[in-house]
Amino acid sequence: MIEIDGKIVSTEILTAPFRCDIGRCRGICCVEGNAGAPIDLAEAEALEAAFETYRPYLSSEGIEAIKEQGFITVDAEGDYVTPLIGDAACAYSFEENGITHCAVEKAFREGKTTVNKPLSCHLYPIRVVRFGNGTVGLNYHRWSICTSAVTCGMQENIPLYRSLREPIIRAFGEHFFQALEAAAE
C-alpha cells in the first residue's frame, strides 16, 4: 500500500496487468454477483433525472425492475446498490449480440445524456473503501470472471491504473492520475 493525495492505494493497481476484453467476458460483471453495484444517492438521483435518455436501451425486465425497486435499492448488508432483474443482472444492463452492456453508458457515449454509469461500475475492478476516519482506500478486486482482462493486460503490457485512466480521472481528478503514474514509474 502507498499513500497518494491522502488516499491509501494498493500497489497492485499500479502493477497488475488488466485491460477489459468484453469480447471474451461478454460483460458478465453486469450479470454475476450477489448484489447490485455500489451506488450513492446522488448517482441514483442523476439516473432518475436522465431515465428517458437511456430507457430505449433497457430491456422490458430492466424497466420493470426499476419501476418496482426504484433507481437504488439496499442490499443484505445495508449498502446502496443498483436494482437487479431477479437476483442476477443489473437493471441498467441490456444485451446486444450476446454481450451485456450498460444502457446508461451507451446513452452517455452517444451524447444523449451527461450522466454516465455508476462510478463503482466505471472504476471496476478498483473498489473504493471509505474508512471511518474519512480516509479513502483503493483496492484491486480480483474476480475470476476477469481472467481474460488480466490476460489481455499481460499481452498488451497495460497495468490496471492505465486501463482505467478515464474513470480514475472522473473519480479523483487528473492530478491524482498523474500522481499514480509517477508512483508507478
> b/e string for 137-157 if b means 16 or more Cβ within 10 A?
ebbbeeeeebebbbebbeeee
Residue 145 has pLDDT above 90, yes or no: no
Please tell me the predicted confidence (pLDDT) of residue 16: 95
Please tell me the predicted confidence (pLDDT) of residue 17: 96
Q: What is the mean pLDDT of residues 52-79?
A: 93
Q: For the purposes of burial, counting CB atoms within 10 Å of the CB of 34, is it exposed (0-12), middle (13-18) or buried (19 or more)?
A: exposed
Arithmetic mean of pLDDT over the chain: 93
Please tell me the predicted confidence (pLDDT) of residue 81: 93
pLDDT tens for residues 88-141? 899 999 999 999 999 999 999 999 999 999 999 999 999 999 888 888 999 999
Q: What is the mean pLDDT of residues 46-68?
A: 95
Among 157, 156, 166, residue whose Cα is nearest residue 184? 157
pLDDT tens for residues 70-81? 999 998 888 999
Q: How many residues does the chain have?
A: 185
Q: What is the mean pLDDT of residues 35-63?
A: 94
Full DSSP string of 96-135: ETTEEEEHHHHHHHTTS-SPPSPHHHHHTTEEEEE-TTS-
